[in-house]
């Protein structure tokens, strides 16, 4: 049965293809602008150290569990969980882990494609010279004009969805595998090129100080919670992607070493992105490094538009952002596509068209949140705000929590250790202890704090 399941979808060509795929899923828009900013604002090197500790205590243990479930089930998250629970004689309610992951992936893709479409738009804007010598007011006006134009937003959203579906429709080997072996090296090359340019044109020393100086006085309990939350979300946990990719993982590849490699690469990309962006930011007087999305779509276009060779490297920067978003988006739709193929007998083309259309249709709500529906809110939140909160602060933490409980407390230890494929008994015992006690506690804190901040501090 395992062989037939592998033939249905295929497997990654090698362990490194899986590493590139999972890293591509983890590396996204948040790595490019969010991690560098929150690191600099919360103690620099002190925050990075705390973040790495959270990765080891939360991210890596849960990711190992999720990959293990995927490889053991060898199917989509929904059917993998159904098979594992049936074989173990467990209650079918645990199948909800798979359902929550698949649904969360589609909902996240619906608005992720809209934001990624902005990056595609700015590749063109930087390339056609319209931002040459632009002032801050002009850049803000152009960004506001983009958000206020549903037609352009829908076109960019549709283009990004087509790019995503074009990869997934070709399958695991010829589509996903080829894409990640191309996109991830391209991402690293673009990062290195931009890093060199940034070091030559910007204030490199100020950026190093902002990101890496060990300022313990700036690391508050709020900063610790921020590092905890980002450590969980940055590895794409709880959205079905890692479990689906785990289903295509070679049988005897060690999961623990593989997941640690992914975590290191994901963190490396985030730090390199910071060192590519912030020298340029600090080399431009009056620019604040904590501007979030507006830093990417308003401030940086102004800076690039007024620097020697800036338009070319600005276009490269937005190509980098688009590549990072693209590598993440293909992992969001794959779990649902795999389920439609397995359970509904669809071929990959039909499954992609159906699920891609559903995500695109839901995404129209996000598009309209910035213009036509801007005045229609629930408790002050637009459609986009609600979708973002529901997925990031409710669905993902709950799915991650259930994975930790299921693998740590419900599955038999012998079954789990055999499925992991690692030959280090003491390490596996330490991992299981962390997964049983520390990871659920940390994820519970993320969940409760998210709800508290939303409903009591809003």
- Helix H, strand E, coil C: the string for 252-299 is CCCHHHHHHHHHHHHHHHHHHHHHHHHHHHHCCCCCCCCCCHHHHHHH
The residue among 454 and 116 whose pLDDT is bigger is 116
**Average confidence (pLDDT) over 93-105:** 96
Examine the pLDDT at 151 and tell me if it is beyond 90.
Answer: yes
Judge contact between 332 and 106, C-beta under 8 A: yes
Examine the pLDDT at 299 and tell me if it is beyond 60.
Answer: yes
What is residue 457's predicted lDDT score, i.e. its pLDDT?
Answer: 73
What is residue 292's predicted lDDT score, i.e. its pLDDT?
Answer: 61
Confidence grade of residue 2 (pLDDT, cut at 50, 70, 90): very low
What is residue 334's predicted lDDT score, i.e. its pLDDT?
Answer: 94
The residue among 218 and 197 whose pLDDT is bigger is 197
Examine the pLDDT at 33 and tell me if it is beyond 70.
Answer: yes
What is residue 283's predicted lDDT score, i.e. its pLDDT?
Answer: 83
What is residue 92's predicted lDDT score, i.e. its pLDDT?
Answer: 87
Weakest-pLDDT range from 30-44, 83-97, 178-192, 244-258: 30-44
What is residue 291's predicted lDDT score, i.e. its pLDDT?
Answer: 64
Weakest-pLDDT range from 8-17, 62-71, 162-171, 191-200: 8-17
What is residue 329's predicted lDDT score, i.e. its pLDDT?
Answer: 94
Q: How far apart are the C-alpha atoms of 255 and 427, rounded to whole Å?
A: 12
Domain segments of the chain: what residues?
Answer: 2-455
**Average confidence (pLDDT) over 26-55:** 85
Examine the pLDDT at 70 and tell me if it is beyond 50.
Answer: yes
Query: Which of 125, 136, 69 has its CA nearest to residue 100?
Result: 69
Confidence grade of residue 1 (pLDDT, cut at 50, 70, 90): very low
What is residue 387's predicted lDDT score, i.e. its pLDDT?
Answer: 95
Percent of the chain residues topping a pLDDT of 90:
61
How many Cβ atoms from other residues are within 10 Å of residue 164's Cβ?
A: 29
Count the helix, strand and coil residues of the chain and give each as a percent rounded to the nearest 5: 80, 0, 20
Provide the sign of the torsion angle of the four alpha carbons 319, 320, 323, 328, taken in this order. negative
**Average confidence (pLDDT) over 163-172:** 90
Confidence grade of residue 290 (pLDDT, cut at 50, 70, 90): low
Instruction: Compute the mean pLDDT over every residue in the chain, rounded to the nearest whole number.
Output: 90
The residue among 351 and 287 whose pLDDT is bigger is 351
Confidence grade of residue 300 (pLDDT, cut at 50, 70, 90): confident
Q: How far apart are the C-alpha atoms of 326 and 32, rounded to whole Å?
A: 13
Q: Which CATH architecture has domain 2-455?
A: Up-down Bundle (1.20)
Examine the pLDDT at 321 and tell me if it is beyond 80.
Answer: yes
Weakest-pLDDT range from 288-292, 357-361, 395-399, 419-423: 288-292
What is residue 11's predicted lDDT score, i.e. its pLDDT?
Answer: 84
Torsion of CA 400, 404, 406, 412, to 10 degrees: 150
Query: Which of 373, 394, 371, 369 has its CA nearest to residue 455?
Result: 394
Interhelix angle 425-433/413-420, rounded to 10 degrees, is: 120
């Amino acid at each position: 049965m395992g062989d037939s399941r592998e033939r249905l979808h295929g497997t990654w060509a090698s362990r490194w293809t899986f590493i590139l795929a999972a890293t591509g899923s983890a590396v996204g828009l948040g790595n490019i602008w969010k991690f560098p900013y929150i690191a600099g604002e919360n103690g620099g090197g002190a925050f990075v150290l705390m973040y790495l500790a959270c990765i080891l205590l939360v991210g890596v243990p849960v990711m190992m569990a999720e990959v293990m479930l995927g490889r053991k089930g060898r199917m989509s998250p929904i059917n993998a969980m159904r098979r594992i629970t049936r074989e173990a004689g467990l209650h079918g309610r645990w199948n909800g882990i798979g359902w929550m992951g698949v649904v969360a992936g589609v909902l996240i893709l619906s608005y992720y494609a809209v934001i990624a479409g902005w990056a595609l738009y700015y590749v063109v804007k930087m390339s056609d010279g319209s931002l040459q010598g632009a002032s801050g007011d002009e850049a803000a006006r152009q960004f506001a004009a983009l958000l206020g134009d549903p037609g352009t937003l829908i076109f960019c959203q549709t283009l990004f969805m087509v790019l995503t579906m074009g990869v997934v429709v070709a399958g695991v080997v010829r589509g996903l595998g080829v894409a990640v072996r191309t996109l991830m090296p391209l991402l690293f090359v673009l990062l290195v090129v931009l890093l060199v340019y940034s070091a030559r044109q910007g204030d490199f020393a100020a950026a190093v100080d902002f990101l890496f100086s060990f300022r313990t006085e700036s690391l508050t309990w709020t900063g610790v919670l921020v590092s905890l939350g980002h450590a969980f979300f940055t590895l794409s946990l709880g959205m079905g992607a890692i479990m689906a990719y785990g289903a295509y993982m070679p049988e005897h590849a060690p999961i623990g070493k593989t997941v640690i490699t992914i975590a290191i690469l994901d963190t490396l990309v985030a730090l390199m992105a910071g060192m590519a962006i912030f020298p340029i930011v600090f080399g431009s007087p009056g620019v604040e490094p904590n501007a979030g999305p507006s830093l990417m779509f308003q401030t940086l276009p102004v800076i690039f538009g007024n620097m020697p060779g800036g338009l070319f490297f600005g276009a490269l920067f937005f190509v980098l952002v688009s590549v990072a978003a693209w590598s993440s988006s293909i992992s969001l739709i794959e779990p649902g596509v795999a389920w439609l193929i397995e359970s509904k007998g669809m071929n990959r083309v039909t499954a992609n068209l159906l699920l891609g259309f559903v995500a695109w249709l839901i995404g129209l709500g996000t598009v309209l949140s910035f213009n036509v529906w801007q005045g229609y809110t629930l408790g002050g939140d637009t459609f986009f705000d609600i979708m973002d909160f529901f997925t990031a602060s409710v669905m993902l933490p709950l799915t991650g929590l259930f994975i930790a409980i299921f693998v740590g407390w419900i599955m038999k230890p012998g079954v789990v250790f055999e499925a992991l494929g690692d030959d280090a008994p003491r390490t596996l015992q330490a991992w299981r202890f962390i997964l049983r006690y520390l990871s659920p506690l940390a994820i519970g804190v993320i969940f409760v704090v998210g709800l508290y901040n939303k409903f009591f501090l809003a």
